[in-house]
Structures are given as structure tokens and as C-alpha cells.
Structure 1
Amino acid sequence: MTSAFGSLIRSASLSGYSDLVRALGGDPQALLRKVGLSARLLQDPEALIPNNAVREALELAARATGAEDFALRLAARRPLSNLGPVSLVLREAATPREALDALCRYRKLLNASLITRIDDEGDCTIIRDDLLPIPGLATRQSMELALGVMLHILKELIGSRWRPRRVCFTHAPPADMAAHRAFFGCSVLFDQPFNGIVCQAADLRQPRSTQDPGMARFARDYLESALQQRGNRASETCRELIQALLPGGRCTADAVARHLRMDRRTLHRHLGAEGLSFIVLLDEVRRELALRHLRGSNMTAAEIAHLLGFSAPSGFSHWFRAHFGCSVTQWRRQVTG
């Protein structure tokens, strides 16, 4: 079975890591050794490294340097070219929205565990980023890096002076939010029901000037070929859809099957070929998300129940006790006490 824990990511995801850790008074080589990486490996941006090692390296650096905004400082060093061939396609898009659609299509080639969705709500567009859960690993720094990089992508596409309406994170706020507000240039909210950037929809429809459509076509052909070679396991796609559909209780086997343009029986057959079932995947995703929110946010049990797709807090309470052997309150008391 392939999971986010076992997935690989371009080493470009840690571009600038060693220099930043060193500038903050830390020892980057020691931190990288703790997660099984070497500074030399990071010199090749296309080298593939374990996704779990990247997440752990970011969290270790924030703790070791005392910089709660470590990921944002790292994101500030990221030009659009850090995305490799994908950047060529984005630069030649007719509008920022078209560029974002292309980014969503090729995102798996950059980071298979990062899910990006774009939703239009009235005169706003919400760019939602979320990370597939990895057992036992925090997501604060990885999530802030993802949205920090997204902000820089949007500024390169729209203009350096552009600002979003607001930015939302599901995790708890840092002790000092000044750095986050300065970086994003807008209201930054924590303990929210989603991770994302809220934009003015009109900003994403602005026409862009393009310079080298030939290079973009070449890059797109290359990326399409890479997507075909990569392929997808049913379980990988199913996990992504479960996480996307859970809030609001819309996640059922039928709903996932419809999104995959197949019937429920076919979905079960594909999952069965991997030794899995929909219920097993649903419980796995719920368990990891429950622990992520309980550890990393100040959300109430009722708020977490909604994000996990339970119609009532009581249903979440019964499910939680069945899986963890105690109540939510007892679990939090054990962890924080």
C-alpha cells in the first residue's frame, strides 16, 4: 500500500533550508541527519526525498531555532522557478486562475501529499491547501510553507503589490502573530475549518502578458507524460477525496465513486485489489485528522466533529472512544497534562 508516509517529494521543497537554519544560529547538518537526510542530497532540486523527512525537518528547525515563523521565512526565499517545469506553464497562462488550474493538475508531480482545491464563493475565490496525514507528524510548518509559497506564486502571477483578503489555518495561533500578518499582508486567522487563501475573484481573472508559449507547450507535454508514467493507486486518490469531502458529512462510498466516475462496486473492487476497503480508509483518515486537530489546534470537539464529517458531536464522541479508548477530554488532558 502506498501512503503519504511512503511518498517522495522533490528536494526543492527544502531549498534554502540549510542557509536559513545557519542564519538563525542552528546546525542544519545535525537536523538533517536526525531525519535521515544529507545537505549534499539537497543540492539537486530534482532529487526525490521522503515526504515524512521533509515535514519532520521543518518542525525540528522551528524548535531548534526558536523561530515559529521558520516556514514563512523559508517561503520568502522561493521564486516561482523553484517549481521547475511547472513554473513555465504557470508563467504562460492567460490569467492567474488558468495558472492555478494548471498548478492543481500538476501538483502531484511536486508534492503527492499536498491537496489543492479552488472554490468560488460569490465574489471570492478560496484556494484551499491541505496535507494528507502522516501518523505522528505535525503539519504546522509544512502547512505554513505551502501557503507561504502559494502567496508568492500569486504575487508573481498578479503583481508584487497584490494582497489576499485573508489567510486561514486550522492549527492554533503562534505566541506572536506579527510575523504572519507582516508576511501575508492581511488578516491571518487560526483555528479555522480550512487551510487556505481567500482572494478577490476578479483579481484572478486579470489577463496576463505571455512571452514564450512555445516553451510552455514543451513543458506541458513533458508534464503530461510524467503524469501518465506516475499513475495513481485507487487508495491514493480515495484518501484525497475522503479528506476533501469529510467536512459537512458529504463523504460516502457513493460520493467518492461519483467523483471518480465509477460505481460503488467498481470502487470497492479497486480498493480490494490493494487489500483495503472504503471503511478502513475512512477510519484511517479520520484518526489521523482527529489527532492532528487535537494536538495542533484549540478547536472544540464539536468543531472537530464537523470537520470529520459527523452529523452530531455525540457521533464523534462514540467513534473517538471506540478507537482511542477514552473521551476527547481525557485524551487532551493526558497529552497536555
Structure 2
Amino acid sequence: MSSSSFLAEIGVYLSQDDKDLSVRDSEVPIRATALRGFATLVDELGGSGPELLSACGLDERTVAGQDTFVSVGIVERLLEGAASRLAVPDFGLRMAAQQDLDFMGPVAVAIENSRTIGEALECARRYLFVHSPALSLEPIADPLDNPEMIGLRYRLGSSPQSIDYGIAIVHRIFLLINGAVPYGLRTVQLPHPPLAPEAAYRDFFAAPVTFGSTSAVLRVPRQLLAAPVSGGNDLLRDMAIDYLETHFGHKGLPVSDLVAEIVADQLGFATPDLSKVSRLLKLHPRTLQRILSAEGTSFNHIVDEIRQDQTLKLITTTQLSFSQIATRVGMHEQSSFTRAVRRWFKTSPSQLRRRPDEG
């Protein structure tokens, strides 16, 4: 299966607007760890996981990295494409069933070590943006107006397989923090038609599932919020919260780090563009510029630093031609690339390659 044929096949899941955009910038960012286990599951089902990842410009090392971002669109394309290619309509549920919940890093630690399930939900509501700015889990009034029930509404992306995957992960988290026993799930509401036989959904959630709702919701007893978390550890929770507040609290959100990750991901596929990155982060370009300025940097400075770092690595650790390297760092004119290398390293590309230790 070629990359082009796989991308063409999964293109049917994109809106027309998304089809006009690069695969890598059509959606908001999410940490690549959301795809941990994808390749293994595809292999077990008779496909080639590494090949499907490669078709979207990824590999298993990229997926393993906590600090690597991809677009939500790529995750959706891979889940939908794998389900279609392998003829496995419950692929999203299977992906959730084998996923290691540690893929959420310190957010998972904070959730798993909360004192009560309500506190765990609050951790998720407050910190899931660390995994993706588009991800949210929030309590809402019961969609069926039962005062003894509440809804836990999950949001991320719009493809059916990714919705199944996400809400199934939430279900597994609540099972985990409730001691791996049923937590009172009454019903599950999904916004799309059933992708697999309804029995597959009932077996996974151990509860009735309805389809065609306005959003993805788990309906649970209101009293669940007061239930203690099984096996929670106050010290681990406090350490995780301290880390999240220090690195991602509202006073110190490292937007520049996230911008750098997005720019690094785009180089070689698209010219880094402030408006595109702003759209990925759901910010107005001027707002993003002000945030970066407050953090002591600028969009152009971040792009320049990323290009410098990648150029040094490619020149000193590969035998790619300088024109190939220029293209990979988003500089399509050889003269511009040569001038940039001289500005960064006070030498020419060829001299830098001959003397890497001095670079």
C-alpha cells in the first residue's frame, strides 16, 4: 500500500476545507502519545502499523515522545483509515482497550492519585489542555433531566472513530480510579450512528449506548463525584499538580514551547506561517504575538531557532545534500540557506560539515 493511496482513501473523512489544507496543519495540535499502541494494534489485525504511520509522516519513535505534537486531524485520519483498511469498525474501541493510560503523562498521574472521583474530574477539566488545547472533559446537567444523574461530556475532534477512542479512554480512566470495578455508568450517548454492531458497544461499556446525540456523554450518578479514588497517593498527586502548575499554570503557560513544536513539525512540509499556527492554537495572530512577546520571544525568532537547530543536526549527522537540507528546513532558495548558515555559525555549509565538532 502506497502513502498516496492510503491518504487518498482516508481523505473521504475530511471536510472540503480540510482537504484544501496540508495534512499537518488542518487541525489543532495533540501530543503524539495519543497514538501509542496504534502500530502494534494494526499489526495484530493483519496490517502494517509502521506503514500507516509513515503515510502520515510519522514513525513509532515520534509517537513515543511526550514532547512531540501532531495535528488532531492526523490522529483522526489514522484511526478512520485503519478501521476502513482493516475492515475493523470498532477500531477506536480496540485502540482504547489496549492503550496505556500513561500516554497522558503527569495529567494521568494527577487524575489517578486524586482523593475523590470529583477531584479527578476537576484535574481532567483543568489540565487536559496540556495534552491538547482542543481536548475537554466537563460535568454537565443530565441530558435526560434526571436530577440524580450528571453527564460527563467529552470533546476532541469530530471523526466517529476518534470520538469512540476518546470516550472509551475516559471510561477506562473512571474504571481505573474506581478500583477496576463498575462505577455506575448508566448510559453512553454518542453523536454518530453505530460504527460496529451495537453489541460491541454494550460489551465494551457494560451499559446501554444511544446514537445520534448532540455530543459524546457518559451518564453517571451524581453521588459518584464523592466516591474515593482507589489507591490514590497524596504525595504523587501533589507532585503532579505542582509540575503542571509550574509548567502549564495560567501564569506561566509556555506557549512559545508549543509554537516551537508546531513549527518544527511543519518545516519541510509547509512554510511556517503565523496565521496557520494561530489558527491551530485558536488564537488571533495579534494575540499570539502579544503572548510570545510577553514570554520574551517572537514568532520569527522561534522559526529562526528551529531552523538553526535542525540545520546543524542535518549537516553534521547526515549526508543529505545542502539543497535537500534547505528544503527540509523550509528554505527553498540555496542562496538564502547559505546566508543563514553563515549568520548562524560564522562559516559555510561545507566547512560546517567538515568540522562538525566546531559547529
Deviations 1:185-218 (A, max 9, x none): 1101111122111111122311235553222212
Match of 1:69 in 2: 90
1:230 matched to 2:250: no
Task: Give secondary structure in 2 for the equivalent of 1:199.
Answer: strand
How many angstroms apart in 2 are the aligned matches of 1:205 and 1:9?
31
Matched residue, 2:332: none
1:217 aligns to 2:238 (yes or no)? yes
Unaligned 5+ segments in structure 2 are 1-23, 257-282, 289-359
Q: TM-score, normalised by structure 1?
A: 0.63
Which of residues 102, 112, 116 is equivalent to 1:81? 102
Provide, for residues 62-82 of structure 1, a one-character-per-residue CA deviation record: whole Å limited to 9, x for no partner. Answer: 111111110111111134333
Pair 1:223–1:38, CA change in 2 (3 A): same
For residues 137-176 of structure 1, the aligned pairs below 5 Å read 139-162=159-182, 163-176=184-197
SS of aligned partner of 1:5: coil
Structure 1: unaligned runs, 5 residues or longer: 133-137, 234-269, 276-337
Change (3 A) 1:99 1:175: closer
Deviation sequence 1:216-243 (CA, Å, 0-9, x none):
212111111232443679xxxxxxxxxx
Decide whether aligned partners of structure 1 residues 175 and 144 sit closer, same or farther in structure 2, where only a CA change above 3 A counts. closer
Q: 1:55 to 1:272 in 2, by over 3 A?
A: closer
After TM superposition, list the pairs within 5 Å mapping 1:270-281 onto structure 2.
Answer: 273=286
In structure 2, how many angstroms separate the alpha carbons of the residues matched to 1:115 and 1:157? 19
Identity of aligned residues (%): 27
Match 2:151 to one of 100, 121, 126: 126
Query: Match of 2:53, SS?
Result: helix
Partner AA of 1:230 in structure 2: L
Q: Specify the code of the residue in structure 1 equivalent to 2:35.
A: L
Q: Deviations over 1:252-277 (max 9, x none)?
A: xxxxxxxxxxxxxxxxxx959459xx
Q: Distance in 2 between matches of 1:29 and 1:166?
A: 36
Corresponding residue of 1:8? 29
The amino acid that maps onto 1:219 is A
Tell me if structure 2 keeps the 8 A contact 1:78–1:152.
Answer: no
Alignment length, in residue pairs?
Answer: 232
How far residue 4 of structure 1 moved from its aligned partner, in angstroms, is 8.2
- The 8 Å contact of residues 89 and 217 in structure 1, kept in 2 or not, is answered as yes
Matched, 1:192 2:213: yes
Question: Alignment partner of 2:98: what SS?
Answer: coil
Question: Is the 8 Å Cα contact of residues 155 and 161 (structure 1) preserved in structure 2?
Answer: yes
Q: Secondary structure at the match of 1:151?
A: helix
Question: Looking at CA atoms only, which structure, 1 or 2, has the larger radius of gyration?
Answer: 2
1:107 alignment partner AA: L
Instruction: Quote the Cα distance in structure 1 between the aligned partners of 2:218 and 2:233.
Output: 29
Q: Secondary structure at the match of 1:116?
A: strand
Residue matched to 2:65: 44
**TM-score by structure 2 length?**
0.59
Query: Residue 85 and residue 181 in structure 1: after superposition, are their counterparts in 2 closer, same or farther (change >3 A)?
Result: same
2: CA distance, partners of 1:66 / 1:26? 11
